[in-house]
Amino acid sequence: MPIRLTSLVALHSLWRPAVTREFATLKTVLPAAAGIQNSLRERGVRLTRQRRILLDLLDRSGKHLNAESLYQLAKEKDPKLNRVTVYRTLKLLKAGGLIDELDLLHFEGDQHYYESRLKQEHAHLICLRCGKVEEFFGEPLQKMRRQMESSLGFKIVTARTEMGGYCPDCQSQLAQESAEKARAGHIG
């Protein structure tokens, strides 16, 4: 399947270096929709226009979408698409091991979010204040996996890592709020 210009632009926007004091990682995520579509075809699943729309949205949104958000975005592309199609497609993809259903620390209650399983293994970092979700890719995750396998004797076949904390913006806002409270306490 030839790569379209929009695919190259989308792929380029996903390259984002992240450097820390201890190590450097380069986030490289390849478009997963083609892989999911090929897997479904191999299993004899019909790829309707509506399913292709949903797969494309899951792959290209750059967000972790819940079923309702996915439905609203898909409805913009095809007004005839209904919620049942979204839920059935998500169930089919999940049962086939092609997408993961995430709860993201239940930040928004019992909401579930979806992403392709064809991505490189990664951790989710969720801001407990604003709900921002960052994905972390890198060797430390692989090292942790190897350590658990060797020390506990497990053969890990899948992993999901979620961590909660505060993003840089919220850390700044919390520090500012704390300083304001301290000043107000001294004044009053």
**Mind listing the pLDDT tens digit of every residue in the chain (188 residues)?**
333 323 323 333 333 333 332 322 323 334 455 666 777 778 777 778 888 898 888 878 777 888 999 999 999 999 999 999 999 999 988 887 777 788 776 776 778 888 876 667 788 898 999 988 888 888 888 898 899 999 999 998 877 788 899 999 999 999 999 999 888 876 65
What predicted TM-score, i.e. pTM, was given to this entire model?
0.58
What local confidence, expressed as pLDDT, does residue 101 receive?
81
What local confidence, expressed as pLDDT, does residue 73 receive?
94
What local confidence, expressed as pLDDT, does residue 19 receive?
31
Whole-number Å distance between alpha carbons of 86 and 54 = 7
Q: Do 162 and 128 touch, CB atoms closer than 8 A?
A: no
Q: Do 116 and 36 touch, CB atoms closer than 8 A?
A: yes
Domains of the chain: 31-119 (1.10.10.10)
